[in-house]
Structure 1
């Protein structure tokens, strides 16, 4: 997230207005999290976040290292939230754990990385199969209920051989995946 924020900030400084839009999309949930810790009413929270973004627009030239933009935004939001809370007599920061339940569930980056690695491994194994198996498995993988007549015509094979051929291709794919897993374990 921090690297995304810094790259968006750099794009914005270079004149790409979409960079600011993307920075707002990336960092606003974080700012909400920071400001809500001060138990401000929703309207005050919105005002603090808006003031934070306005401060960035006004002081963008004061940020010398783009990698610091995320920290700058969170610190500015904290200071403004504290100022508003003091003004309203509500200076009662709470522990972050109290808001974790209310935060939208996000899939961990590790889960995405594992999923992409597994997909890569799967398609590398598919690539080791013969062309007929590759084509058949792609059809059955991406079609919920493939039309066997159309599959037979496309692959130039009898309808009755599609199921057995698919089974043999899946067995070859399982073997290829097993071989790939064994190679990963030994390397």
Structure 2
């Protein structure tokens, strides 16, 4: 049964290790994406990942709005990545991050393009939106998950007829099924967004 972030968080506050593992599984790709896109080495990205989750655990009783978990994780991961970048530069005796090297190894081209702010707000927002989409997809029933995967996430492009055959239905039936699943996905996204806005309103009272 799918649980919202708020539901998982209440269980985490009650010391549920299983819920903590579920939360990490849900957002691990988001946290790791922030660290790697910030230009960290694999080792530093792993440190950033660990420190971000450690910070969340230490502050678990201070977090008032669990619906903003993804934003909190992105902000914290970005801060931890900046600290690691600065430490790596300091250890290498480098102050100019535009030509930064870690040890004797040049950073990759992606890292060379990273701005001093590490990641622009637009990209951070994109990562958050991706996390919200993945959460909404998890809430879909298995049939709709398979439909979304076939149309939007499959490694190979299949024709409409091929997708219909894989589901054992006619092409005429596939269209309505796809529309129903997209509508359901939209409803879940709106529901989750509304829950977050309600929690934000409560926190300001």
TM-score (norm 2): 0.45
Q: Which has the larger radius of gyration?
A: 1
Q: Indicate the structure whose relative CO is greater, using CA pairs within 8 Å and at least 6 residues apart.
A: 2
